[in-house]
Amino acid sequence: MKRRLLYLLIVIVAAGVLGTLAAKDPGYVLISYDGTTLQTGLWVFLGAIVLFLVLLRLTLKLGRTVFGTANRVKSWRKTRMVGKSIEHTNRGLLYLQEGNADRAERFLTSGIKHQPQPVVNYLHLARAANESGKSDDREKFLRLAAEADPSASAAIVMTRAELAASRGDWQACLDALEGGPSNQRSTRLKKDAIVALGNWSALEKLMPSLQKHLGDSVYASLEKKLVLETLSDIEANDEKRLRIYRDASEAVRVDSDVLNSLCRHSQYEKEAEVILRRVLKNSWQPDLVETYAKLGKETLSKRLKTALGWKKHHPIDASLEYCLGLIYEAQDMKVEAITAFESAIEYGSHRGASRQLANLYAFQGEHQKSNEYLNMALRP
Q: Which residues pair with 30 in a beta bridge?
A: 39
- pLDDT by residue, tens only, the chain of 380 residues: 667 677 667 767 666 666 676 666 666 666 777 667 777 766 666 667 776 676 777 777 766 766 655 566 566 565 666 677 777 778 877 877 888 888 888 877 777 777 777 888 888 889 999 988 889 999 998 998 898 888 889 999 999 999 999 999 999 999 999 878 888 899 999 999 999 999 998 999 999 988 888 888 889 999 999 999 999 988 888 899 999 999 999 999 999 999 999 999 888 899 999 999 999 999 899 999 999 999 999 999 999 999 999 999 999 999 999 999 999 999 999 999 999 999 999 998 888 989 998 998 888 889 888 898 888 888 87
pTM exceeds 0.75, yes or no: no
**Burial group, residue 282, by CB count within 10 angstroms (0-12, 13-18, 19+):** exposed
The conformation of residue 169, written as its DSSP 8-state character, comes to -
Among residues 230, 276, 242, the alpha carbon closest in space to that of 256 is found at 276
According to CATH, where is 1.25.40.10 located in the chain?
A: 72-148, 299-380
- The amino acid at residue 209 is S
Instruction: Please name the CATH architecture into which domain 72-148 falls.
Output: Alpha Horseshoe (1.25)
Among residues 293, 286, 287, the alpha carbon closest in space to that of 308 is found at 293
Give 201's Cβ-side CA count (13 Å radius): 4
Residues present in the chain in total: 380
The conformation of residue 36, written as its DSSP 8-state character, comes to E
DSSP string spanning 191-247?
HHHHHHHT-HHHHHHHHHHHHHHS-HHHHHHHHHHHHHHHHT-TT--HHHHHHHHHH
**Burial group, residue 241, by CB count within 10 angstroms (0-12, 13-18, 19+):** buried
Q: By 3-state DSSP, what share of the chain in percent is helix, strand and coil, each rounded to 5? A: 80, 5, 20
Contacts 24+ apart (CB under 8 A), 117-121: 117/149, 118/148, 118/149, 119/145, 119/148, 119/149, 119/152, 119/155, 119/156, 120/89, 121/89, 121/92
Find all residues with CB under 8 Å of 100, minimum gap 6, and list them.
none
CA separation for the pair 211, 94 (Å, rounded): 35
Which of the listed CATH numbers 2.40.30.20, 1.25.40.10, 2.60.40.350, 2.60.40.10 matches domain 299-380? 1.25.40.10
Cβ 300 vs Cβ 331: under 8 Å: yes
> φ and ψ at 34, to 5 degrees?
55, 45
